[in-house]
Amino acid sequence: AALVAEVMPDRARPFAAALLQTAAAIGPVLAGTANLALAGQSWKWLFLVGVAPALLTVVIRSKVREPERWQSKGVEVRKATETVRELFRQTPWRRHAIVAMILGVVGIAGAGNVAFWLPNLVKESLPNAEKAVVDASVSYATYTLHLGTLLGVFAFPLLCQRIGRKASFALFFVLSPLATVLALQGSLDYTKLLWMAPIMAFFAIGLSAGYGLYFPELFPTRLRATGCGLAYNTARIFYAPIPWLTGLVIGASKGSPSHGVALAAMVYIVGLLALPFAPETKGKPLPD
């Protein structure tokens, strides 16, 4: 995100953030296709297919060069610990980092909540179906889910340009849990899930495009990669126990995934509480 933000002109950064985040839709769709193609085969073959993107990153890494903005500032390559210390030593950057980490936890938890438990929701909606039917149905549900993701990741940066970053996050933090609860209330059937999955993903995963746009705007050039990386990866660390906690809720509700997923969607309340402390960056250039 930091690299893309630094090589793009300000007017193009929203579209670049959206394009970057389309991977959140394209990757799972390819995985769903592989699942259909390898139906009935060992899960190990799916993991082998997953090696291909990893090999691609090696090629990309060999071709990427440091952005001109970074080079023009004469930023020295320092130890990660030194950069992190500087980030938390200065008040504005420390506050921005903490806010970004909280927003990151909320976004990753919300997006993961929908995508991670989708196979379980499909099984709940098809209680009497055979395993082969359920497996194929998971792939079809993945397609519809990430149609919503694709639309959401393009819509969110555009919304940020119209009403601002904070207002956009606030709107999606409210609508995402509402969409999830509406989708999962009452008895869950597969047709309803197919229709509601893209709506849930539009809000829950679509807002992730805002991080690629917003996080780089919170930090100066010398701290941008560290600040963005810390926000993303700290969020993943704190997200780690959430599926386990959701599983406990599912177990307590007699094995109903829809109850656990609906309750986990309340994590967006934390994001709403953090937003008043977030700076508005609409219309401002990247800080140097």
Dist CA 161 CA 225 (whole Å): 23
The encoded tokens of residue 72 equal 């023009």
User: Would you say residue 113 has pLDDT above 80?
Assistant: yes
C-alpha 159 chain-centroid distance: 17
Q: Got the DSSP string for 35-88?
A: HHHTTTS-HHHHHHHTHHHHHHHHHHHHH----HHHHHTTPPP--HHHHHHHHH
Dist CA 229 CA 3 (whole Å): 11
Which of 118-122, 169-173, 256-260 ranks highest by mean pLDDT?
Answer: 169-173
For the chain, the structural domain boundaries read 2-277
pLDDT at 199: 94
pLDDT at 7: 66
pLDDT category, 268, cuts 50, 70, 90? very high
Q: For 46-91, what is each residue's pLDDT tens digit?
A: 778 778 777 877 877 777 676 666 555 555 556 667 778 888 888 8
Asked if CATH classification 1.20.1250.20 holds for the domain at 2-277, the reply, yes or no, is yes
C-alpha 115 chain-centroid distance: 10
pLDDT at 52: 78
